[in-house]
Amino acid sequence: MLTHLQRLEAESIHIIREAVAESERPVLLYSVGKDSAVLLHLALKAFHPAKPPFPLLHVDTTWKFRAMYALRDTVAGRYGVDLIVYQNPECIERGINPFTHGSALHTGLWKTEGLKQALDQYGFDLAFGGARRDEEKSRAKERVFSIRSAQHRWDPKAQRPELWHVYNARTRPGESIRVFPLSNWTELDVWHYIRREQIPVVPLYFAAERPVVERDGALIMVDDDRMPLEKGEVPQLRKVRFRTLGCYPLTGAVESSADTLDAVIGELLRSTTSERQGRVVDHDSSASMEKKKQEGYF
Amino acid sequence: MTTVPDTDVGRYLTADDRKTLLRFITCGSVDDGKSTLIGRLLYESKLIYDDQLTALEEDSRRVGTQGGALDFALLVDGLAAEREQGITIDVAYRFFTTERRKFIVADTPGHEQYTRNMVTGASTADAAVILIDARKGVLTQTRRHTFVVSLLGIKHIALAVNKLDLVGYRREVFDRIAAEYRQFAAALGLTAIQAIPLSALLGDNVLGPSENTPWYDGPSLAQYLETVEVDAGAAGGPFRLPVQTVIRPDLDFRGYAGLVAGGTVRPGDEVRVLPSGASARVARIVTGDGDLPSAEAGQSVALTLDREIDVSRGDLITAGAQPAGVADQFEARLVWMHEDPLLPGRPYLVKLGSVTATCTVTHLKYGLNVNTLERTPAATLAVNEIAVANIAVDKRLPFDPYQANRDTGGFVLIDRLTNATVGAGLIEFALRRSDNIHRQALDVTKEARAAIKGHRPAVVWFTGLSGAGKSTIANALERELHALGCHTVLLDGDNVRHGLNRDLGFTDADRVENIRRVAEVARLMVDAGLIVLVSFISPFRAERSSARALVGENEFTEVYVQTPLEVAEQRDPKGLYRKARAGQLPHFTGIDSPYEPPEAPEVRIDTGIVSVPQAVARIVAQLRATGIVP
């Protein structure tokens, strides 16, 4: 009998192969986080002994953790895949950042707009993402193959029924498809798989002494000197780690002593808060993710 | 949440990984307490995090229906639109784990979209939880849910008799409902039924036994879900591998990749590739983790074969001694999932496993009333309706009956223009006709026949509202072409309806058949080498595009005779608009039946500014440009 991870892995590989067979120009959205790492690992397995027939795309905001850039820059060489880094030129020109422009505008322009621009510029008609249904309530209802209009909008009421292992990946000109091979994985599954397959992840997931300041109840790591400190604010060295990774000024750390994979998983098993709690960007309203997705956020 | 010390994480994960998986679906109508039950299961399994609980407390106060107490339904009702309306719109998938098993719950709504969403959720489920409100007993929707569950091949059912607290936990209420349900389910061949007395709101018999039902000695819902035996299904059947893609890193390696959909395979096994029927032996089972000594249903692998045979995406690799069937005509059960009705004769795409082809429903044998199970006559199929139908496919497909294998016997239907998934089908059996009707190969070809005409064969297809001027222009064009020495024929809507199509009316279904027949006749005449002028209202894009697909590239010229409805109605040469407006002519295009204008016709004639001779000149110029008329 197959184990749980074997079943999940096989299902994801099937989804990846099906998506590639049914699209003209697929791309894998690589965010450097743990889910992206698993997704890339599965893509390598899906086409073994050939290379995955699509590039990776990193929609960069220039505000990610330095450790994320360090890992990202080793990926292309390590796996022999193409990596495209895209930065929204308008954001560069206007110097969009979370401190002066706020988290909503920052995320909207760098990530949502940047993603749309990159997909349009390269003509990608299908994009793999690492989203999982257990992350968030509106994700629980999204299909594995999720269609986007020419304006990259998601219409939750016009989703295609998905039966058995049959996926309808057909698009009209201008439309594109987002494909989520990890739909049925949980956070624990992801960590278990990383452990079993020894997949390299950003060290920020493991506890270490890091300089942080406390803002609005979140521990924000001072990752570089671009972060303006408020009056009297002094970064403190605390032993912290991250459950999710994004732009460092928008990602809250948790105090933790879990500095190994097993300790991280042990902590997860004992955890009483959900994964997305550390994301400042989700907190605006309980329907905020659904709203962002309709606007084209991944 | 468990309390696993870090040193035991490895052991915990290994045990966790070996847990079996149960996929189940919950069915109930709006007020049966389904979301409350799932929310309760998640809550009691300690799968709700503190921050989610805080959000739930806030939401319960704000929009809850339990007077400020925790409203578990809010945990699962994900989309903002749903919260506002207080209903679940779509299928949502939830995950939870107990000491013994992992679960994926497909939560489906009970209101009007029930069938479509239930079929989706049930397609991958091993078991179903059917909720009944103890105060209401077995209702029409209970029968409907049970029928859909049985249709999709689910054999294990937990009958959750909910809200028992509201009938004083009385045993006779529970017994009466359970007995009535068993009798009904037996008629559908369902016998593995566990009835459970329940209060999702208060937690009775959800996780453990309840003190309020001392007369009940069966399992709680959680115990049932943890122990119900999952059938081996296709895993115990013959080997099946739908080929998704051919992996070719270099000239020496060809891996036929796919997810094993049935049985097991080992190197050395003889396999047969369908539809070609070519045989070979399996050389290697290749994966990203190295070669495997065997692969079973549910594994994604790539096979290499011991000899070079032609295998491509859409083929089915099967056990040599137990191959699947191959056919191009099937009897199937169809579930319609789209607001636009199914029209027999209209071409749709069919996707079965990894193969996509074009098909038409040739005959709707009968509809199935999901509430009474009665057979009903069916001319078309509306959303959420179910029917038994004959389907003809434009190529031979490898298949198994759905009852034998969901993955090689279940298909979806896709609209060719919108790409929407419009229906689902479950193959019952192949129709034997497909073995007996062979296409006769002819020695004298279309090209040879055309060569003695001095022009190329083609269809000129006029479409537009009644009274737009199609027949007038077509008639003038034929005179002009005849004068040029072209061999033409004019098929006019009114004339054909007096003969070939006199058995057809004006419903959408009959309009589709009307155009299908005329398109086939036009094709035969193109084969004969003629220039065929077709003058039909032909209101639907789908049929015009299928008429186009019947003939070769550049052999189809669509002429859109464009006249505003007011103008056509004013002309009203046959007095039809007057009758239609008076209600004497139902289904009249433009009045109470839609007209879908062409998106990119080869020629567009606006009769308000173009005269008939100008129109003819334009069409002739187009035919010259494409080399049809010299």
pLDDT 10s digits, B151-169: 998 989 999 999 999 999 9
Task: Return d(Cα B357, Cα B339) in angstroms, integer.
Answer: 23
DSSP letters of B542-606? HHHHHHHHHS-TTSEEEEEEE--HHHHHHH-TTSHHHHHHTTSS-S-BTTTB-----SS-SEEEE
Asked if the model's pLDDT at residue B89 lies above 70, the reply is no
Q: Which two tokens stand for residue B53?
A: 């609980």
Out of B92, B247, B349, the one facing A141 most closely (by C-beta) is B92
What is the band of B87 on the pLDDT scale with cuts at 50, 70, 90?
very low
- Contact with chain A for residue B408, Cβ under 8 A: no
What is the band of A285 on the pLDDT scale with cuts at 50, 70, 90?
very low
Residues of B whose CB is below 8 A from A273? 49-51
Asked if the model's pLDDT at residue B31 lies above 80, the reply is no
Compute the residue count for chain B.
Answer: 630
Task: Return d(Cα B299, Cα A219) in angstroms, integer.
Answer: 43
> Quick one: pLDDT at residue B141?
81
H-only helix segments in B153-264: 171-186, 221-227
Give the range among A291-295, B17-21, B136-140, B478-482 with minimum mean pLDDT.
A291-295
- Contact with chain A for residue B45, Cβ under 8 A: no
> Quick one: pLDDT at residue B580?
86
- A83 forms bridges with which residues in the sheet? A56
Indicate the domain borders of chain A. Answer: 4-189+287-295, 202-282
Contact between A49 and B257 using a beta-carbon 8 Å cutoff: no
* Residue type at position B397: L
The answer to whether A144 and A12 are in contact (CB under 8 A) is no
What CATH number should be reported for the domain whose range is B238-319?
2.40.30.10
Same fold, B238-319 and B325-434: yes
Task: Return d(Cα A282, Cα A251) in angstroms, integer.
Answer: 11
> Quick one: pLDDT at residue B373?
80
The answer for residues whose C-beta is within 8 angstroms of residue B516's C-beta and 6 or more apart is: B345, B346, B360, B543, B546
Average pLDDT of the residues in B565-573 = 87
The burial of A287, by beta-carbon neighbours within 10 Å (0-12 exposed, 13-18 middle, 19 or more buried), is given as: middle
Give the range among A3-7, B36-40, B244-248 with minimum mean pLDDT.
B36-40
Average pLDDT of the residues in B277-284 = 94
Out of A3, A21, A165, the one facing B245 most closely (by C-beta) is A21
Please write the tens of the pLDDT for every residue from B331-376.
999 999 998 999 988 889 999 999 999 999 988 999 988 777 888 9
ipTM of the shown complex: 0.89
What is the band of A294 on the pLDDT scale with cuts at 50, 70, 90?
low
Superfamily for the B325-434 domain: Translation factors (2.40.30.10)
The answer for residues whose C-beta is within 8 angstroms of residue B592's C-beta and 6 or more apart is: B580, B586
pLDDT, greater one: A77 or B28: A77
- Using DSSP bridges, classify how beta strands B156-162 and B127-133 pair: parallel, antiparallel or unpaired: parallel
Contact between B300 and A262 using a beta-carbon 8 Å cutoff: no
Fold assignment, B446-625: Rossmann fold (3.40.50)
User: Catalytic: B199?
Assistant: no
Average pLDDT of the residues in B466-494 = 90
> Quick one: pLDDT at residue B30?
62
What is the band of B62 on the pLDDT scale with cuts at 50, 70, 90?
low
- Contact with chain A for residue B412, Cβ under 8 A: yes
DSSP letter (8 states) at residue B238 = -
Q: Torsion over CA of B367, B370, B374 and B375, rounded to 10 degrees?
A: 10
Q: Kind and range of the H or E element at A6?
A: helix A4-21
Class of domain A4-189+287-295: alpha beta
Residues of A whose CB is below 8 A from B414? 168, 170
> Quick one: pLDDT at residue B256?
97
Give the range among A227-236, B229-238, B265-274 with minimum mean pLDDT.
B229-238
Is the preceding peptide bond at B539 cis, omega within 30 degrees of 0?
no
pLDDT, greater one: A100 or B30: A100
- Mean pLDDT (chain A) is 87
Chain A to chain B Cβ contacts (< 8 Å): 200
- Contact with chain A for residue B15, Cβ under 8 A: no
Class of domain B6-227: alpha beta
Task: Return d(Cα B106, Cα B374) in angstroms, integer.
Answer: 28
Q: How many CA atoms lie within 13 A of B65 on its CB side?
A: 15
Q: Which of B276, B538, B546, B593 does the annotation list as catalytic?
A: B538
The answer to whether A221 and A212 are in contact (CB under 8 A) is yes
Asked if the model's pLDDT at residue B270 lies above 60, the reply is yes
> Quick one: pLDDT at residue A286?
43
Task: Return d(Cα B423, Cα B473) in angstroms, integer.
Answer: 40
Out of B10, B50, B255, the one facing A272 most closely (by C-beta) is B50
Contact between A183 and B93 using a beta-carbon 8 Å cutoff: yes
Indicate the domain borders of chain B. Answer: 6-227, 238-319, 325-434, 446-625
Q: Which two tokens stand for residue A237?
A: 């060295």
Asked if the model's pLDDT at residue B533 lies above 90, the reply is yes
Residues of A whose CB is below 8 A from B248? 50
> Quick one: pLDDT at residue B355?
94
Per-residue three-class SS string for B113-170: CHHHHHHHHHCCCCEEEEEEECCCCCCHHHHHHHHHHHHCCCCEEEEEEECHHHHCCC
The answer for residues whose C-beta is within 8 angstroms of residue A44's C-beta and 6 or more apart is: A51, A52, A79, B288
Is the preceding peptide bond at B109 cis, omega within 30 degrees of 0?
no
Asked if the model's pLDDT at residue B84 lies above 60, the reply is no
Q: What percent of chain B has pLDDT over 70?
A: 88
Contact between B16 and A192 using a beta-carbon 8 Å cutoff: yes
- Contact with chain A for residue B351, Cβ under 8 A: yes
